[in-house]
Amino acid sequence: MTATLLGAVPVTALIDNALGTDTAPRVDNVAEVLLTAAAAAHPGAPAVRDRYGAWTYAELDAAADSFARTLADHGVRPGDRVLARVGSVREFTAVLYGSWRRGAVLVPINPGMKAFHLRAVLDDSTPSLIVAEDAERTGADGLEWPSGIPVLTVGGLDLSGPADPVARTEREVPADRLALLIYTSGSTGLPKAVACPHGPVAFAARAVQQRLNYRADDVVLTAVPLSFDYGLYQIMLTALAGAELLLSGPADHARLLGFARDHGATVVPLVPSLGELLVRLASRDPRPTRVRLFTNTGAALNAPLIASLRETFPGAAVAPMYGTTECKRITVLEPDGDLARPGSVGPALPGTEVLVLDDDGRPLPPGHTGELCVRGPHVMAGYWRAPEQTALRFRRARDGGGPVTLHTGDYGRLDEDGHVYFQGRKDDLFKRRGSRMSSVEIEAAVLDIDGVREAALLVPEEDRDMVLFVVGERAGLTAEHVLSRLADRLEAAKVPDECRVLDALPLTPNGKTDRKELRRRITEATDGH
């Protein structure tokens, strides 16, 4: 799979123009764009810290070269896949950059991935080498790693250096050479990999940094998984700024706020569950922090949570974003821009375009809801070894000309100034009792009810009506109270007949609401307690 299958020439030209080059099909290896430049500019500055120690940019540079030499010793060639089932430790950054310096394709996998999905990923990606967290020959739930493939452990890696710039033979690569295979969570089926070439990855990282403006004195606390592109790109964004990356894994969430204070975190990428956690932790220990910016993507922060973050962390701004792995990021709203434009997730990234199309692919005017579609140098190369799925989402004009248009499957609208308002996926839009509605709209109304902290709506399916799940801010919240108050806010057709109160919503490894688990609970006729 290369971008050429999608007609990469126009896309490559856009990349070259945007990155300021005057060569046509080649760009710098992302490791050179990011790490090499950062190590030259800030060799003694802190680059990455985890719970066990820290590296400067010079030390990370040497560690990446060490891993690239390890790959060469094991016969890994440019284009081969390196699967990393590694958590939030600084060694992951050396594996990432070292793989790119060798010309290999990194396949980051969440250590929490179960055997059913992991087996499918191994069969699909066919790695030439595996990096795991422990020394056992098992991947998950007793699944054995494939025989004949070297399995290295984080603790067994020699990353002591030295840095060897002369040995870096993959400095300049074709723009369409793959840098990453990022597998989706598999929440609706077997995982599929988004094929991410060096050109679009480099462009996306630079475009996001241009909008968020991380600074050299920033400390970016990253507690979202590094296998999730939201976490993964924090490695790149900090390198572009010369900032410090601060890594914390899920086992240490209870100590997250103390870790942030101890090391002066200034920027915190959030999903809702992490935002709720930080607010709770700060209620027990209200000492000030240095946090100046919260960013959000993946699952949107609701308005009450955003208000709680601003109240709990005075002086910290919130920057909502919207994206999809198929192009990394689509929009970024300026910090606190939601105060002037409630519900907006921002305008398109610089050098890119967001379209709102109807069911026949025709552009809709501002204010009209349709499918959100994307064009630009950040559009990835499609799905790995899945041409039919690629053709459905990555489309050209019928005559085969023009740029690729990514059909996100998400719905929303644009305002007159080009700001996007996300309204849900196609599956979130439905008709009930003759009225068209959105689960996003109903959840927002539920969250406006005093005493409700979280909400998730399962849309109607063939065998059942819609079902609402809520989490209360304190004990005593009842389903009857929620439905009664919701009826004061929405038309009768939009009020579910069934509501279940949970202690907590189930989450995927990436911190999103696990709707598959909610459906399972309904099927098994349990209330989730």
* Residues constituting the chain: 529
- The verdict on residue 453 lying in a domain is yes
The Cα–Cα gap between 260 and 267 comes to 10
pLDDT tens-digit profile of 496-528? Answer: 999 999 999 998 887 788 888 998 888 875 444
- The verdict on residue 105 lying in a domain is no
Task: For residue 117, give the nearest of 147, 85, 149 by alpha carbon.
Answer: 85
The contacts of residue 482 (CB under 8 Å, 6+ apart) are: 446, 449, 452, 468, 470, 499, 501
- Amino acid letter, residue 284: R
CB 212 within 8 A of CB 230: no
pLDDT tens-digit profile of 118-129? Answer: 999 999 999 999
Task: Name the DSSP class of 445.
Answer: H
pLDDT tens-digit profile of 38-51? Answer: 999 999 999 999 99
Return contacts of 439-446, CB within 8 angstroms, 24+ apart. Answer: 439/466, 441/490, 441/494, 442/466, 442/468, 442/486, 442/490, 442/494, 442/496, 443/302, 444/302, 444/303, 445/486, 445/489, 445/490, 445/494, 446/470, 446/482, 446/486
pLDDT tens-digit profile of 386-401? Answer: 999 999 999 987 666 6
Give the pLDDT score at 136.
Answer: 64
Q: Is 158 helix (H, G, I), strand (E, B) or coil?
A: coil
The Cα–Cα gap between 83 and 145 comes to 11
Assign 138 a pLDDT band (cuts: 50, 70, 90): low
- pLDDT surpassing 80 at residue 378: yes
pLDDT tens-digit profile of 177-226? Answer: 999 999 986 444 678 999 999 999 999 999 999 999 999 999 999 999 99
- The verdict on residue 464 lying in a domain is yes
Its pTM stands at 0.83
- The verdict on residue 130 lying in a domain is no
Give the pLDDT score at 290.
Answer: 98
CB 65 within 8 A of CB 162: yes
The number of domains in the chain is: 1
Q: Count the alpha carbons within 13 Å of 405 in the hemisphere toward its beta carbon.
A: 19
- pLDDT surpassing 50 at residue 19: no
- Amino acid letter, residue 310: R
Give the pLDDT score at 429.
Answer: 74
Assign 135 a pLDDT band (cuts: 50, 70, 90): low
Q: Is 404 helix (H, G, I), strand (E, B) or coil?
A: coil
- The verdict on residue 448 lying in a domain is yes
Give the pLDDT score at 441.
Answer: 82
Give the mean model confidence (pLDDT) for residues 109-135.
90
- The verdict on residue 493 lying in a domain is yes
- pLDDT surpassing 50 at residue 245: yes
The Cα–Cα gap between 267 and 363 comes to 37
Instruction: Specify the DSSP element, H or E, that contains 291.
Output: none
Residue 486 maps to which CATH number? 3.30.300.30
- pLDDT surpassing 60 at residue 16: no
Give the pLDDT score at 381.
Answer: 96
Give the pLDDT score at 188.
Answer: 46
- The verdict on residue 346 lying in a domain is no
The Cα–Cα gap between 62 and 355 comes to 43
pLDDT tens-digit profile of 306-358? Answer: 999 999 999 999 999 999 999 999 999 999 999 999 999 999 999 999 999 99
Q: Which residues of 497-521 are buried (b: 16+ CB within 10 A; e: fewer)?
A: eebbbbeebbbbbbbbbbbeebeeb
Task: For residue 512, give its domain range.
Answer: 433-523
- Amino acid letter, residue 361: G
pLDDT tens-digit profile of 423-470? Answer: 877 777 787 877 778 888 898 889 889 999 999 999 888 778 999 999
Residue showing tokens 């956690």: 277
- The verdict on residue 94 lying in a domain is no
The Cα–Cα gap between 310 and 205 comes to 27
Which segments of 159-262 does DSSP mark as H helices, in order?
198-212, 229-241, 256-262
- pLDDT surpassing 90 at residue 12: no
Average model confidence (pLDDT) across the chain: 89
